[in-house]
């Protein structure tokens, strides 16, 4: 796997944050790869393992353990809706279904990303523009229901605002 030099430099810089053990850099490196390529490929796992002098399984087991990492590409814009109690009481399930309807993703939880709607595999709309995931508590329970689109956080989202958000992320 050939990496652009500035990306490789960024990786080397991150590894210096862990002077005691390079292995500690595995999570940050996975984040960098996912930000850069959208998902964690087999090649990425091999490359990171090689870089940190680990076995590939040491990296794969992280990808399968931590819910934020995915092994398939998400949509161009990735939507995360909070599922947990305070948001659910404030309309989180309805918001999730609204996003599904608007993006043409099957709203049935079992189809919207595997068991419980938690994104494995990620469910992507037919045009590839959006993917949606039902996630656990995003820690803003007082402003339910909340969601994230890519890295941006939105709180107290009404259905009207949700539709407007989709236009903001074409």
Partner 1 sequence: MPSPLRQPHPRETRMIFKNIDRPGWKNDIETYLADGGYEEMKKAFTMAPVDIVNEVKTSGLRGRGGAGFPCGMKWGFVKQDGPKPNYIIVNADESEPGTFKDRYILHQDPHQLLEGVIISAWALNVHLAYIYIRGEFPDAARIMERSIAEAKAKGFVGKNVLGKNFDLDIYVHRGAGAYICGEETGLIESLEGKRAYPRIKPPYFPAVLGLYQCPTIVNNVETLCHIKHIIRMGGAEYAKLGRPNNTGTRIVCVSGDVVSPGYFEIELGAVTFGELINDFCGGMKPGRKLKAVIPGGSSAKVLRAGEAYKIKEKAGDGTMVEKQIGLDDIPLDFDSLAAVGSMAGSGGIIVMDDSRDMVWVLNNINSFYAHESCGQCTPCREGSLWMKKITDRIVAGGGVERDPAVLKSVADNIAGKTICAFGEACSWPTQSFLAKFPEEFQAKSKKPLPPPMPPEYVAEEVVEHETVQTVQGARGAGIMAAAAGR
In the complex, minimum distance from the CB of residue 104 to partner 1, in angstroms, rounded to a whole number = 21
In terms of CB distance, is 127 or 163 closer to partner 1?
Answer: 163
Task: Please give the backbone phi and psi of residue 20, each rounded to the nearest 5 degrees, phi first.
Answer: -85, -40
45 scored as a contact of partner 1 (CB under 8 A):
no
Nearest to 149 by CA among 126, 87, 138: 138
In terms of CB distance, is 43 or 110 closer to partner 1?
Answer: 110
For residue 35, CA distances in Å to 40, 60, 67, 152 come to: 9, 17, 15, 14
50 scored as a contact of partner 1 (CB under 8 A):
no
The CA distance from 29 to 130, in Å, is 25
Q: Which helix (H) or strand (E) holds 149?
A: strand 147-149
In the complex, minimum distance from the CB of residue 106 to partner 1, in angstroms, rounded to a whole number = 13
Residues 105-164 close enough to bind partner 1 by CB under 8 A: 110, 116, 118, 135-144, 148, 151, 153-157, 161
Contact criterion met (CB below 8 Å) for 156 and 146: yes
- Select from 2, 65, 167, 170 the one that contacts partner 1 (CB under 8 A): 65
Applying CB under 8 A, which part among 1-9, 76-84, 94-102, 123-131 lies near partner 1?
76-84
The CA distance from 133 to 118, in Å, is 6
In the complex, minimum distance from the CB of residue 105 to partner 1, in angstroms, rounded to a whole number = 18
The CA distance from 143 to 146, in Å, is 7
CA end-to-end span of the chain:
31
- Select from 12, 42, 61, 127 the one that contacts partner 1 (CB under 8 A): 61
- Select from 31, 71, 76, 106 the one that contacts partner 1 (CB under 8 A): 31
In the complex, minimum distance from the CB of residue 127 to partner 1, in angstroms, rounded to a whole number = 25
């Amino acid at each position: 796997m050939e990496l652009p030099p500035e990306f490789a430099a960024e990786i080397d810089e991150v590894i210096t944050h862990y002077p005691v053990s390079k292995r500690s850099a595995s999570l940050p490196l996975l984040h960098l790869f996912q930000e850069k390529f959208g998902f964690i490929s087999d090649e990425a796992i091999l490359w990171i393992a090689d870089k940190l002098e680990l076995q590939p399984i040491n990296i794969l087991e992280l990808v399968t353990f931590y819910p934020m990492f995915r092994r398939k590409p998400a949509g161009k814009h990735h939507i995360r809706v909070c599922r947990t109690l305070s948001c659910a009481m404030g309309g989180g399930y309805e918001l999730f279904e609204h996003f599904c309807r608007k993006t043409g993703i099957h709203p049935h939880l079992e189809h919207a990303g595997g068991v419980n709607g938690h994104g494995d595999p990620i469910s992507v709309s037919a045009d590839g523009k959006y993917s949606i995931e039902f996630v656990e508590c995003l820690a803003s329970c007082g402003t339910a229901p909340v969601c994230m689109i890519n890295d941006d956080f939105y709180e107290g989202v009404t259905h009207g605002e949700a539709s407007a958000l989709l236009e903001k992320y074409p």
